[in-house]
Chains A and B, each alone.
Chain A
Amino acid sequence: MKNSSKNSLKSYLGIVPISARVHKRQSRMTRICIILAVFLVTALFSMADMWIEAQKTEMIRRHGDYHIKMQNVPEDKMEELCRRSDIDVAAKVCEIMSQAEKDSSADLDYSIKDRRIILYGVEETYLKEVRKYPMEGTFPQNDSEILLSSDAKELFGIDTGDSVTVDTPAGEFDYAVSGFCEDDSEFNQIVEGCCAYMDMETFGQISGDNSEDSSLEYYIRFQEDANLRQAIADVREEYGLSDENMEENKGVLGLSGASSSETAKNIYPLAAVAFVLILISGVLMISSCINSNVAQRTKFFGMLRCIGASREQIMRIVRMEALNWCKTAIPVGCILGVVSCWTACAVLRFLVRGEFVDMPLFGVSVIGIASGILVGIVTVFIAAHAPAKQAAKVSPVAAVSGNAGSMENVRHAADTRFFRVETTLGIHHAISAKKNLFLITGSFALSIILLLIFSAGLDIVRNLLPATSNFAPDVAILSQDNTNSIDRELLREISDLPGVEHAFGTRMEIAAPAEINGDAGSVDLMSYDEFMLDESKRSIASGNLSKVYGDSKYALCVFQEGGRLDVGDKVEIAGEELEIACVLSFGIGGVSGDIPSVICSEETYERLTGERDYCMINTIFSDHVAEETVDAVRNLAGSHLFTDRREEDSEVISSYWVFRVAAYAFLAIIAFITVLNIMNSISMSVSARIRQYGAMRAVGMENAQVTRMITAEAVTYAVCGSIAGLICGLLFHYIIYKKLLITHFGGTWKVPVTPIGLILLLVFVSCVAAVYAPAKRMRDMEITETINEL
């Protein structure tokens, strides 16, 4: 220390880093808070960025890396356009008109070995730059060469250098295969063939010989992502292009920020909201740290004022102190954020897969880091503002008369009528410093509000993703014409297969004529078996489900925004009246959209319609089902439609879990911040009053009483915070439910007991944690030490 600070003081602000070095421990909490805020924002924005990057990769893979596509534009105009300086890539593509639209059953106009091929005349840049297909071999060099989809290798059993014969209406053409490219194999599967690429001249010959119309398209990519909108608008105006001539690559454009797509528009506001939330909680916690810090140093600031520091200089010192913490905290936060973003990307890419396979691995997001730095500096700056003003207000007299500060603030004497004196003093300590009380209550309340909002948000997501419900089938068999034509024996056969956990059938009559509360109309009538009714218990919005079981006069319905039915409504079907006994928030139902669906038990359905066969049979497999079982179900389906939803559903479920984990992680960190915050505040408050406590102990206060006093202070903060947080939080919870959930899924608002329990537990834990360390510190300290500590 002696040498490190030697001659290092060049300005009065030089005291800041020196003081920070000495008081490293005191500012540790503040630094942790800054690190957390920066880390959260960096990680969040990096993830958003990576996700957009991944979407872009996927879009490019699916649609190609170009910005606009032009067609039916005179060639000279096009040539001129392609010479523009702001254009990075321009590639020509020719395709024989209408062949792509022909379905697989049509005549095979162009084929190799009786397999349909789609012929393209392309420039090399199209495959390499626009489509970015991985290529093997070379691009056709002359009119005797052809490039094929990689699928052709297996399809025709050929390799580079082999020759193929293309059958066309005008005869056969022989080509040597110059190479293969990995193009869109989904498309190849649809056309049950492959794509063939040749250079423009060769394509010209073959289409000329067949006297085909060919459409010429230009794919354009601009040089930079910035100002894309403008560039496109310029081109459109300059060459007088209409929507018919020019098509935008919406997926890629949207994600580049030249947005007309919804995805990018949606993710940034979400990230921005999170940014603001983190900013607020960051400001609250850092502000309370700095506040206590300033409060403890009244005398120091008074002394500075005595020896000539102006108010501005004091404010500058406090601000600089705060910014000085950023020096280390921001880089640490950024690094943590980037590393956790990498980890999360890796987890998503390799473990969750699904829509996340394109997540970049070691991407560094400039936006992420920049927003991290921004949030760090802005938070600290805002947080330091009030304490800096507070410090500047310290009167120089404070230095001369030592205790001026702490005495001046006390306006009312503590009221000792209700509690014992130590408890009263603790409460008094908490509520006498209004600003501190407000800050701590605020940060407490904010966490609680967030927790409740998140809990409501998760309920919405769960309702939005029906795959997360218990009877989301793995595979389904549907009758071709939506009639009850699937033999009910089939259900028994499927149920008996090994690995089938549940198989259940639904009977259905679409738009059955019915009288609803006396008015003529129609309903979709469906049946649920016992398993489905049991599983529906979780999604009861209102009413009594048990009445619906068995042969009864009751039915249930699934909530719909349009023609809604409610409990107690009467529906007359086939001359019999059914009463709606229960409304579900979600379930299988609502086939026709705007007409209500009425669901009854199998027995009731049979009584009403006499039908016993099914319209749909759903199967749920056990976790590790053999593919043979799935195939067996497929075979049993025969001519009926068979859909396998396993992959899609598992993707939905994994997305839901990713969302859930992310939301809870975010929440956990916010909760953690709250706990840290209250710990910090209590600890600071104890440090600030350490002499007072010492004096109290000297005149006979026991250790247990000291602990009680500190506890009373902590509990006061917690109670105020919890009350404020629960009131506002429940209000938000109610509003979200009312506006978003009940209007879309029905049901009623209930007090969220579990989240509230969780919140109270969290509050309790933070109180215990907050009291423990300072109380221990006081107990371990000699009385004389606390009196003399300055």
Chain B
Amino acid sequence: MDLLEVRSVSKTYGSGETAVHALKKVSFSVPKGEFVAVIGESGSGKSTLLNMLGALDTPSFGKVLIDGRDIFAMKEKELTIFRRRNIGFIFQAFNLIPELTVEQNIIFPVLLDYQKPNRKYLEELLAVLNLTERRHHLPSQLSGGQQQRVAIGRALITRPSLILADEPTGNLDSQNSSEVIAMLKEASRKYEQTIIMITHNSGIAQTADRILEVSDGVLADFGGRGCWE
């Protein structure tokens, strides 16, 4: 079964003459464990698409199903909890909480769920992300790459089935970028997670299992890596 199913999602901002059609009848589905890259020019509608997938924004038409559940049919509170447990976000600007340490930043979503963090899993994550040494550091004491790895850790700690990443390497140099992507892939493979990642970097897109391109709100599926090559 597909983990993610997008059914003719459209999004229009404004109305009448000033209406902007950000997404036009976008449909696709992603099976569990796939690593999908979304590419497209600035303003093409990639971020809007990602916001829909993460239930941050509501579509004008259409449905998004995650694990078979229509996320826009859920009530606000239900959706919050669903998002908390099933979707992990990684931002371009890291968005770490500056006053919390690496470890605290990572476990924060678990605390929001009133759970106790699983120590063993945390240690494992820290090790995978190569942050064990820096666990008590503040974000300001880390490099960009390290900060993004913390953000990845935070996205992984709840073991979400879907990870949405909006240009996670946008603020990183090439070495850090490939490092972060490698970590992301390794982690997702290990924990069987689906990743949808927006990127401008075609090199990074190449490493994905599948590439989707958004152009003027219309989605084109380039299929698996094989198709491109």
Q: Is the Cβ of A397 less than 8 Å from the Cβ of B138?
A: no
Q: Mark B167-193, 1 if CB is under 8 A from A, else 0.
A: 000000000000000000000000000
What total of chain A residues lie within 8 Å of the partner, measured CB to CB?
A: 35
Interface residue A106 (Cβ < 8 Å from any Cβ of B): no
**CB closest chain-A residue, reference B82:** A308
Q: How far is the CA of A10 from the CA of B108 in the complex (A)?
A: 10
Q: A6-B136, A400-B47 are in contact. Are A308 and B158 (CB under 8 A)?
A: yes
Kindly state the separation between the CA atoms of A313 and B57 in the bound complex, as whole angstroms.
20
Whether A14 pairs with B111 at a CB distance below 8 angstroms is: yes
Checking A15, A23, A311, A396 against B108 with a beta-carbon cut-off of 8 angstroms, the contacting residue is A15
Tell me the complex Cα distance, A21–B158, Å: 28
Determine whether the beta carbon of B100 is less than 8 Å from that of A396. no
Interface string of A389-410 (1 = CB under 8 A from B): 0000001110111100000000
Q: When each residue 304-325 of chain A gets 1 if its CB lies under 8 Å from chain B and 0 otherwise, what string results?
A: 1111111101000000000000
Is the beta-carbon distance between A22 and B84 smaller than 8 angstroms? no
Stretch of B2-10, B88-96, B207-215, B221-229 at the chain-chain interface: B88-96
Known: A22-B99, A23-B99. A307 touches B56 (CB 8 A): no
B19 within 8 Å of A by Cβ?
A: no
Smallest CB-CB separation from A307: which chain B residue? Answer: B109
B59 within 8 A of A: no
Q: A18-B100, A307-B84 are in contact. Are A402 and B93 (CB under 8 A)?
A: yes
Is B206 at the interface (CB under 8 A from chain A)?
no
Q: Tell me whether A396 and B84 are in contact in the complex, defined as CB-CB below 8 angstroms, given that A307-B89, A307-B109 are known contacts.
A: no
B197 at the interface (CB under 8 A from A): no
Q: Are B113 and A308 in contact (CB under 8 A)?
A: yes
Contact B56 A395 (CB under 8 A): yes
Residues from chain A with Cβ under 8 Å of B200 in the complex:
none
A643 at interface by CB-CB < 8 Å: no
In the assembled complex, which residues on chain A have CB atoms less than 8 Å from the CB atom of B80?
Answer: 305, 308-311
Q: Determine if A211 is an interface residue (Cβ-Cβ < 8 Å).
A: no
Q: Is B77 an interface residue (CB 8 A)?
A: yes
Check B104 for interface membership: any CB of A closer than 8 A.
yes
Asked if A19 lies at the interface with its beta carbon under 8 angstroms from chain B, I say yes
CA distance A2 to B136 in the complex (A): 6
Which residues 66-122 in B have Cβ within 8 Å of A in the complex?
A: 76-77, 80-81, 83-85, 88-89, 91, 93, 95, 97-101, 104, 107-109, 111-114
Nearest chain B CB to A294's CB is how many angstroms away?
16
CB contact between B84 and one of A2, A19, A303, A308 (< 8 Å): that residue: A308
User: How far does the alpha carbon of A321 sit from the alpha carbon of B111 in the complex, in Å?
Assistant: 17
Q: Tell me the minimal C-beta distance from A26 to chain B in angstroms.
A: 12
A9 at the interface (CB under 8 A from B): yes
A148 to B107: give the CA distance in the assembly, Å: 82
B104 touches A307 (CB 8 A): no
- Specify the chain B residue showing the minimal Cβ separation from A309: B112
User: Given the complex, which residues of B lie within 8 Å of A19, measured CB to CB?
Assistant: 97, 99
Q: Are B56 and A396 in contact (CB under 8 A)?
A: yes
A85 at the interface (CB under 8 A from B): no
Chain B residue at minimal CB-CB distance from A304: B112
Nearest chain A CB to B78 CB, angstrom units: 10
| B56:A397 contact, CB within 8 angstroms | yes
- In chain A, residues 1-36, which have Cβ atoms closer than 8 Å to a Cβ of chain B? 1-3, 5-6, 9-12, 14-15, 18-19, 21-23
CB–CB A313/B99 < 8 A = no
Is A400 a contact partner of B84 (Cβ separation < 8 A)? no
B47 touching A401 by the CB < 8 A rule? yes
Q: What CA separation (Å) do A305 and B108 show in the bound complex? A: 12
Taken together as a complex, chains A and B put the C-alpha atoms of A175 and B47 apart, in Å, by 108
* Set B51, B104, B154: member contacting A9, Cβ < 8 A: B104
- Tell me which residues across on chain B come within 8 A of A22, comparing CB atoms: 98-99
Q: Name the interface residues of B116-171: CB closer than 8 Å to any CB of A.
A: 136-138, 154-155, 158, 166
Kindly report which residue of chain A lies nearest to residue B107, judged by CB atoms.
A9
- Residues in A whose Cβ lies below 8 Å from that of B77: 310-311
A-B contact pairs, 9 of them (CB 8 A): A6-B101, A11-B111, A11-B114, A12-B112, A19-B97, A300-B97, A310-B84, A397-B56, A400-B91
Residues of B whose CB lies within 8 Å of any CB of A are 47, 50-51, 54, 56-57, 76-77, 80-81, 83-85, 88-89, 91, 93, 95, 97-101, 104, 107-109, 111-114, 136-138, 154-155, 158, 166
